[in-house]
Chain A
Amino acid sequence: MLSDHSLIQADGLRFSYDREPVLRGLSCEIERGEFVGIIGPNGSGKTTFLRHLTNVLHPDEGSLFLDGEDYRNISTRQLARRIGVVPQESSIIFAFSVTEVVLMGRAPYMRSFGFERQQDIEIARYAMERTDVLHLADRRMNELSGGEKQRVIIARALAQEPEILLLDEPTSALDIKHQISIYGLLTQLNRERDLTIVSVSHDLNMAAQYCRRLILMRRGDVFLSGPPLDVMSEESILEVYGARVSVERRGDPATPFVLPVREERSG
Chain B
Amino acid sequence: MTRGHRSFHRLLWPVLALIVGLGFTMALVLRPPPEPPAGVESKTRVNARMPEPAK
A in complex with B = no
